[in-house]
Each structure stands twice: as structure tokens, then as C-alpha cells.
Amino acid sequence: MFYVVATPIGNLGDITQRAVETLKACHFIMAENPHYSKRLLEHVGAWPKPVVQFAEHNEQQVLKDLVRRLKKEDGCLITDAGTPGISDPGFRLVRECVKENVQIVPIPGANAAITALSASGLPTDRFMFLGFLQKTAAKTVQALEAAQAAEATAIFYESPERILKTLNYIANAFPAAQVVAARELTKLHEEFIRGSALDVIYQLKDRPSIKGEFTVLISFK
């Protein structure tokens, strides 16, 4: 049995009871970063337990072996934060297990995109998740134009190092769009910065440094 287990995106108190019970009961765990995940596993009482790394750099080497193992044992896939398979290589393991008729059970929980959307104040009836945008202005604008054409709220992830550059692309191409930049979701310094892209840029540029991962939402309505 293959369990896809969502974990907290920051606050450890957000883990579900079902996730805790599943992590405790499974035979082994597949984690993006086993060292990082040890803290969570200790917190929920699921340590010690065999942990196998499944990440972008080693997925092809371990994929087949993990599928064979999941045919015999119960395993849990977790990511560093949030729901596995969302903008990480976990979907490839799920896809391979589907091909091999391994039973897959999702254990739902936190997801940064949906968490940010729920508190954004932007339209939620239709949205388009874009993951991590490509780094050029042309590719960024192209992806956002697809959301605009679909009359959907665009959602994507961005790093603190690139947030100002990406917001500048948005300000130039979509000056009237409503932007919400959600930072450090569920953590001590959680905040939502709202306004046009230029408004958000001005607020961030006044800071001595920009820290924390961003979930950015854009409405074109």
C-alpha cells in the first residue's frame, strides 16, 4: 500500500490525526530530505523508522526499487512541507505505482497554494496553479496570460531571491492586476502583502532583507 501523506507547511500543529496514525503504522517512509523530516517524525512519535530519500536528484535511481517494495510493504511518501507531488517529483512515483497497480491512498492536509488562496481575498471559483514559473520575463508573462485568458486566479511559488524580479515582470505586463504575496504561511512571521504588483514591490523594497518562501496570487478581474 502506498500512502501519499501531506505534512505541515510550517506549523507542526497542522498535521492531521490520520497522517500521524499512518506515519506510525507504515513500514517505511520516503522523504525528500530524510534529515529534515526526522524532526517531524520525532514530533509525531514515528521515529525511529526506515527512511528512504526520494528527491529530484535521485528519483530515477530509486524509482523502480521503491515500486517493487511498495508491492510488498506499506510506505508513506512525504515532502519537506505540504502535499507530495505538488511541484515536486512525487508525482512520478505515483504515476509509476498506477502503472504497476499498486494501491494508492491519499492522506490530505496542508498545501501552500490552497492555504494562501483561502485567505487572499481574490476570486476562488476558478484558479490556475502554475508551480514555479520559468525565469525569463517572456515565459512568466506567457504563463500568466494563460490564467488571464481562463479568467482564473493565478497561483505560483517564488523564492525570496527572485520575488522582486518576478513582480517587476508582472508590473510591466499587468499593471492593473491585483496581487497577493503570501509569505511564511502558518509560521511566526506569516503575512499577506496586497495591492498592485508595484504596491507589493514598494513594500518589499523598504525592508533590509527579504526572507521566506512566497506564494503569489494574481487576479485579473
The answer regarding whether domain 112-219 maps to CATH 3.20.20.70 reads no
Q: How does residue 12 score in pLDDT terms, banded at 50, 70 and 90?
A: very high
pLDDT digits (tens, 9 = 90+) for 40-94: 999 999 999 999 999 989 989 999 999 999 999 999 999 999 999 998 889 999 9
pLDDT digits (tens, 9 = 90+) for 182-215: 999 999 999 999 999 999 999 999 899 999 999 9
- Domain positions in the chain are 2-107, 112-219
> Cα separation of 69 and 75, whole Å?
8
Domain 2-107: CATH class, spelled out: alpha beta
| The C-alpha cell that represents 184 in the structure block | 511564511
Q: How does residue 221 score in pLDDT terms, banded at 50, 70 and 90?
A: confident
Alpha helices, H only, the chain: 17-25, 34-44, 59-70, 90-99, 112-120, 137-149, 163-173, 197-205
- If one counts every other C-beta atom within 10 angstroms of the C-beta of residue 178, the result is 20
Residues paired with 75 in a beta bridge: 2, 28
pLDDT digits (tens, 9 = 90+) for 93-144: 999 999 999 999 999 999 999 999 999 999 999 999 999 999 899 999 999 9
Residues paired with 181 in a beta bridge: 193, 216
pTM, to two decimals: 0.93
